[in-house]
Amino acid sequence: MEMEKLVSLCKRRGFLFQSSEIYGGLNGFWDYGPLGVELKRNIKEAWWRDMVTGHDDLAAPPGAPEAYEMVGLDCTIIMHPQVWKCSGHYDLFVDKMVDCKESKKRYRYDQVPGRWVESRGQKLFVTTSVEENQEADIEHRALKFLNLRAKDAADLTWQSPLISLAKIDPSDYGKVLGPDAKSLGTLTDPRDFNLMFKTIVGALGTEEDAAFLRPETAQGIFVNFKNVCDSTRVRVPFGIAQMGKSFRNEITPKNFTFRSREFEQMEIEFFCHPKSSPQWYQYWRDRRVKWYTDLWLASDRLRLREHDKEELSHYSCGTSDIEYAFPFLAAGEFGELEGIAHRGDFDLRSHMEGKLVARDGQLVVEQGPDGKPKWKGSGKDLSYRDDLTNERFIPHVIEPSAGADRGTLAFLCEAYCEDQAPDEKGEMQTRVVMKFHPRIAPVKAAVFPLVKKEGMPEVAQDIYRALKQRWHVFYDEKGAVGRRYRRQDEAGTPFCITVDGQSLQDKTVTIRDRDSLKQWRVKIDDVESELGQRLA
């Protein structure tokens, strides 16, 4: 599937718009249109229902070491600034960037791909800014820089495969041809750039009043751990779920909504006994993959990738990413949909004791030059006492952290299909159809009178009103019925219900299935129960 087709369908049919588009848009910000908002809400609701309200607290689900409870939270976006100092985000939530002195552009230095090439005694590292056909673009740029023609391509000796600028020693930056530069050596050394959006709370506006828009929802859960334990009767193991907006001032937002500056997360912090934490980590990896495949993300485009030792954060005992082969990525590449991390007791301890660092394989409170904690924790006791065994311990945490917008984008990519279907005259035509799982489809059914006369609209409107009590359904009487079907196929509506001449005589209607294109007749009185079964 070509990404441009999906992007244009999203705009044309109202799934996604650029934010503030009439003013030229704002890079990294996106709005959901009338269809998009329903799709994203359905995805979030499916997550909340499957993870929280629909979870059976009484029995161990398949693969889980034992039964567990799940509760929810909804925390503020702006929190006490100390939260981010103790969590490590204030010091460490950085991406490295490089600036180009010639083009004045800024890049995330691990996202600048390039290749070493040698020609006629000169060795240089040629980079590219394009997403597709990167090697061809690099060759083209190398030839152009060296004043060679396409037919001289054999004069180029490639010294490396495609590698990231991050792999190049900054002392070699004099030999780098930047992604948008015409001369060598225009990139600055990499510098840290903190991704948190800063804001000021209150009218005084001093630096002491600086606060941050949360870059993740997780910290709101950790700082409320004690509140939840004290106000409910949850016992470890249990999970706390939260979904909501997060903000990251990404250096290079790109790939449609994949990397945005404002986005929504769906996060669970699962608290368990340290001894059983490895089993819980396994459980949550499998549980979360199953959630995506149950909603029809195809397993051959989805993978679970365990991080290598070098990739792990200093506190993590294991992290896996659920990744999807987004169509805007090169063949064989995958993009992260969700991370599942075993975080040990890092987070609760950080908020008790202060910001932690790893020293000789241990987590210790980081000290400032005065020998005191660099960032002091809350001092509150966030340990847990098991009232059956009387054991007191700091729970370990397993964190499945998903992005609602990345999920929505993956479901959009997966759903997009082009197939052949007969038009009104019976001739085969290419049809664009969004094959969403019925649970997440924005509109569940459309109701049409075949023609706008002979009492058909009245019957169709009655059916529409009855179904509307339970589902988001759509009524349409404009234009040829074939065109109306096509519009619903593009919106991903699983069923179309048509009232025709026969309906007036025998009180039946046809139901058409979006994917198989099968049509069958159902009594008007049975339409609701039929849909109920098929949408379940």
> Residue 345 — φ and ψ, nearest 5°?
-105, 15
Nearer to ligand ATP, 95 or 477 (CB): 95
- How far is residue 167 from each of residues 62, 163, 341, 494, measured CA to CA in Å? 43, 7, 26, 48
Nearer to ligand ATP, 110 or 530 (CB): 110
Q: How far is the CB of 218 from ligand ATP (least distance, A)?
A: 9
Q: How far is the CB of 3 from ligand ATP (least distance, A)?
A: 16
Residues of this chain, 324-363, that bind ligand ATP according to CB under 6 A: 336-339
Q: How far is the CB of 47 from ligand ATP (least distance, A)?
A: 12
Q: What's the per-residue H, E or C state across 210-252?
A: EEEECCCCHHHHHHCHHHHHHHCCCCCCEEEEEEEEEECCCCC
CA distance 414 to 39: 13
Q: How far is the CB of 535 from ligand ATP (least distance, A)?
A: 27
Q: How far is the CB of 196 from ligand ATP (least distance, A)?
A: 12
Nearer to ligand ATP, 188 or 316 (CB): 316
CA distance 9 to 2: 11
- Burial class of residue 87 in the structure, from the number of CB atoms within 10 Å of its CB (0-12 exposed, 13-18 middle, 19+ buried): buried
- Burial class of residue 404 in the structure, from the number of CB atoms within 10 Å of its CB (0-12 exposed, 13-18 middle, 19+ buried): buried
Residues of this chain, 394-453, that bind ligand ATP according to CB under 6 A: 401-403, 405-406
Helix 527-535 to helix 456-468 angle (10° resolution) is 50
* Binding status of residue 260 toward ligand ATP by CB under 6 A: yes
Spatial contact of 94 and 84, defined as CB atoms under 8 Å apart: no
Size of interface with ligand ATP, in residues (CB under 6 A): 16
Residue type, 257: T
Give 254's DSSP letter: B
Residues of this chain, 233-252, that bind ligand ATP according to CB under 6 A: 248, 250
Nearer to ligand ATP, 413 or 509 (CB): 413
CA distance 500 to 477: 12
CA distance 419 to 413: 15
Q: How far is the CB of 266 from ligand ATP (least distance, A)?
A: 9
Q: How far is the CB of 418 from ligand ATP (least distance, A)?
A: 27
Q: How far is the CB of 26 from ligand ATP (least distance, A)?
A: 14
Nearer to ligand ATP, 143 or 337 (CB): 337
* Binding status of residue 263 toward ligand ATP by CB under 6 A: yes
Stretch in the footprint of ligand ATP (CB under 6 A) among 159-167, 260-268, 351-359, 366-374:
260-268
* Binding status of residue 89 toward ligand ATP by CB under 6 A: no
How many Cβ atoms are within 10 Å of 450's Cβ, its own excluded? 21
Q: How far is the CB of 259 from ligand ATP (least distance, A)?
A: 4
Where do we find the tokens 């009103």? 465
Nearer to ligand ATP, 221 or 481 (CB): 221
Tokens for 294, please give them.
């149950």
b/e per residue, 239-254, with b = 16+ CB within 10 A? bbbbbbebbbbbbbbe
Q: How far is the CB of 163 from ligand ATP (least distance, A)?
A: 18
> Residue 481 — φ and ψ, nearest 5°?
-65, -35
Residue type, 394: I
Residues of this chain, 41-70, that bind ligand ATP according to CB under 6 A: none
Q: Which one of 40, 44, 89, 259 is in contact with ligand ATP (CB under 6 A)?
A: 259
Tell me which residue has its CB nearest to ligand ATP. 403
Nearer to ligand ATP, 285 or 486 (CB): 285
Stretch in the footprint of ligand ATP (CB under 6 A) among 224-232, 256-264, 384-392, 487-495:
256-264
Q: Which one of 87, 127, 186, 265 is in contact with ligand ATP (CB under 6 A)?
A: 265
Binding string, residues 203-222; x marks residues near ligand ATP by CB under 6 A: -------------x------
* Interface with ligand ATP (CB under 6 A): 216, 248, 250, 259-260, 263, 265, 336-339, 401-403, 405-406
